[in-house]
Amino acid sequence: MKKKKSQKKVAVTLLVVALLSLSVAFAALSTTLTINGTGLVDPDKWDVHFANLGEAKIIGIASITSEATLTDDTSITGFDVVLRAPGDSVSYTFDVVNGGGVDAKITDIIKATPVFSATTTDESKIDADTTIVSDNLVYTLIYTDTKEAVAINDTLNAKETKNLTLKVAYSEEATSLPSSNVEISGLDIDIVYGQN
């Protein structure tokens, strides 16, 4: 009986030693990996603007009542033109510049709907006059070099400049003129640039 108790003690002791050895073996095989670091966001400059607004180019017998002006590099305002005959036009060239370090693209173009107001007091001619002018008014914004229309998703990469032409014209193919003056308002275009 003593021998069995002694053998049990030895077996229990060996079992405890074996378990402790496994724990040590597992501890010896573990490793801690550490990653440390820091970062900084240093935003590049966003700078899309207009520049170099040229003088008006007049075709035909059109004239200018008020010249376009460049305001705070983001607005071209104040132009007022008079078109008198088919083929008359007034156009302006200007640059759109990406002076920053972030590539840009056109995300939206918002072109207002022109409003036509005949100045005649003869009500029977108002609709006819405004229809004649609205059917023959040509109002475009194109790239000067390619003659392609400015469009959504057009890119303007960092440090790139593109020259645009804005043109207001009375169609060369017009076969009639209004019987009275027709004032045109709402020749507004917003070009929205976003990050590309």
**Nearest-CA neighbor of 172 among 127, 126, 124, 138?**
138
**pLDDT of 27 over the 60 cut:** no
63-66 vs 57-59, strand pairing mode: unpaired
**pLDDT of 12 over the 90 cut:** no
**pLDDT of 26 over the 60 cut:** no
Count other C-beta atoms under 10 Å from residue 106's C-beta: 19
| pLDDT given at position 187 | 94
Q: How far, in Å, CA of 176 to CA of 46, rounded?
A: 48
Q: How far, in Å, CA of 113 to CA of 22, rounded?
A: 83
Q: How far, in Å, CA of 28 to CA of 25, rounded?
A: 5
Residue 151's pLDDT band, with cuts at 50, 70 and 90, is very high
Report yes or no: 105 and 153 within 8 Å, Cβ to Cβ.
Answer: yes
Q: How far, in Å, CA of 58 to CA of 70, rounded?
A: 19
Q: What angle do CA 194, 102, 156 make, to 5 degrees?
A: 65
What does pTM read for this prediction? 0.77
Residue 172's pLDDT band, with cuts at 50, 70 and 90, is very high
Q: How far, in Å, CA of 78 to CA of 110, rounded?
A: 18
| End-to-end C-alpha distance for the chain, whole angstroms | 88
Residue 37's pLDDT band, with cuts at 50, 70 and 90, is confident
55-110 pLDDT per residue, tens: 999 999 999 999 999 988 999 999 999 999 999 999 999 999 999 999 999 999 99
